[in-house]
Amino acid sequence: MERWRNKVAIVSGASSGIGAACARSLVLAGLQVVGLARRQQRVEQLRDELQTAEQRQRLHALRCDIRQETEVVEAFRWARDQLGGVHVLVSNAGVMATTELSGAANTSAIRETIETNIMGGVYCVREAFQTMKQQRVEGLPEGEQGEGVGAAGELGCGMQEGHVIIINSVAGQQVPNLGPQLPSLNIYPATKFALRAMQEIYRQEFQRHKTRVRVSTISPGIVDTDILPAQLQGVIKEHMPMLSSMDVADAMLWILSTPPNVQVQNITIKPQGEKF
């Protein structure tokens, strides 16, 4: 992780749950972290809870609704202007609607899920990559900068390393059958299947541009966060094992710690004893 020290990471959905755990872990690993959230004050509270003044200075809270393209563009512009760009993106923000896919008058809830889970990720990854592919390694001679394959056959000779990590779900691998007694998962698994396909598309595109940007996903099982609808909270917490947000953050740190030549496609983690 030492090579990431003082680099800039952006975490979407940083106000709670997995996003907050990832933001905190990245700060403790020595990165500058920009936490994006609609609830900006929750990220500010997380910053205040950090133990040292140096750690608190490393966490920046920005209000950003990732469903709004203009807000995402402005957030990444701020990171570029104030911190020099972005080297790591943790695309985490997501929601789960409380409706049925075939239910009446469900358009608003379904649209919010799609716009957050898919389009919000599209905006964030796009803006991150546009910054990452332009960053150069300081100290190299001018002739060694730029896109292309280096003498040793390395992609993006002279370019800074970047990493996009997308928080997905086991619901993007198989649609869980919760049975008729529990609420429908509606469009949520479909958005997670989309993220699974998008990760491979990004991998191909990043390679096409001959960059040193990697892209990975983490697909956790049930995590104890407030994304779960109230109807599921009581049943799941009482009867099913759950991961903690820190379990996911630990997986994120492991992905970042792998050598630059290692492309981690996906990590699937489940709580021991999960029934799905």
The overall pTM is greater than 0.75: yes
DSSP-derived secondary structure letter, 92:
-
Q: Tell me the pairing of strands 213-220 and 162-167.
A: parallel
pLDDT single digits (tens) 127-143: 999 999 988 765 444 44
pLDDT of residue 140: 47
User: Is-contact 98 109, C-beta < 8 A?
Assistant: yes
CA 50 vs CA 53, 56, 58, 156, 181: distances in Å: 8, 6, 10, 36, 42
Contact (CB, 8 A) for 175 and 185: yes
Q: Distance between CA atoms of 66 and 126, rounded to whole angstroms?
A: 12
User: Out of 34-38, 117-121, 146-150, which region has the weakest mean confidence (pLDDT)?
Assistant: 146-150
pLDDT tens for each residue of 2-29: 999 999 999 999 999 999 999 999 999 9
Tell me the domain boundaries of the chain: 2-136+157-269
Asked if pLDDT for residue 152 goes beyond 50, the answer is no
Residue 230: predicted pLDDT? 67
Q: Which of 131 and 240 is assigned the larger pLDDT?
A: 131
Class at the top of the CATH hierarchy for domain 2-136+157-269 = alpha beta
Separation CA 233–CA 106 (nearest Å): 22
Alpha-helical runs (H) found in the chain? 17-28, 40-49, 53-57, 69-83, 107-114, 120-132, 188-208, 230-239, 245-257
Query: Residue 219: pLDDT above 90?
Result: yes
Enumerate the active-site residues. Answer: 188
